Amino acid sequence: MTKISVVMPCLNEAGSVGRCVSTAREALEKLQLDGEIIVVDNGSTDGSAEIARKHGAKVVHEPRQGYGNAYLRGFQEAKGEIIVMGDADGTYSFELIPEFIKPILNGEADFVIGSRLRGNILSGAMPWLHRYIGNPLLTKILNLLFGSSISDAHCGMRALKKDALEKMGLKTSGMEFASEMVIKAVKSGLRIKEVPIAYYHRESGKPKLHSTIDGWRHVRFIA
């Protein structure tokens, strides 16, 4: 039986991480698939780790701050043949796990990425600057430079095969990790599929994305 690892980075998201873990677990149970949920605590001080553990997650701690660092730590721990990625702040619905892993299980894709821009962004869930300028512009640059054809390069809900992950050799520590993953997926010849999804309001924690700093990190990495 195929095993699934769900990896969630977490930094002070006590108000949402428990529900995210429970929703992910229920989605796996409905599919009758063997699975594990790994929450990577990136320095929380609000009890997030304890809440995640009580809801059935395996909690690991990554002291080095950064989106990429958290995921790289989670990937090291993951035992699944398929890895599902998603934030623990409530902006993504883990009920959609079946939509992300079915193309992989059916042999149609190696890497599945959500598209908020082709799906439904709830009013006010994404800042205007990110929705209409930052994300579309960075996605267009990435597509032009690397020959990809995706619509939302920075959607945080994704799934990929463990052996595909090993081919990619991911290294970046911060938010540019999202771009690195797409670029290396294209360079590695992975079959990529997009899934339109809804994007919700953050339920807890402060935004981790800093528009100017992280935007520049993406541009610098892409270039």
What are the DSSP E strand ranges found in the chain? 3-10, 34-41, 58-61, 82-85, 111-121, 158-161, 192-199
Model confidence band, residue 205 (pLDDT cutoffs 50, 70, 90) = low
Supply the pLDDT for residue 34: 92
Longest CA–CA separation in the chain, Å? 45
Instruction: Say if residues 91 and 200 touch (Cβ distance below 8 Å).
Output: yes
- Condensed to tens digits (0 to 9), the pLDDT of residues 99-144 reads 999 999 999 999 999 999 999 999 888 876 677 776 778 888 888 8
CATH topology for 3-222? Spore Coat Polysaccharide Biosynthesis Protein SpsA; Chain A (3.90.550)
From the DSSP assignment, how many helices (H) and strands (E) are in the chain? 9, 7
Joined tokens for residue 170: 């991911």
Query: Residue 148: helix, strand or coil by DSSP?
Result: coil
Instruction: Find the length of the chain.
Output: 223
User: Model-level pTM greater than 0.75?
Assistant: yes
The span from the CA of 52 to the CA of 38, in Å, is 9
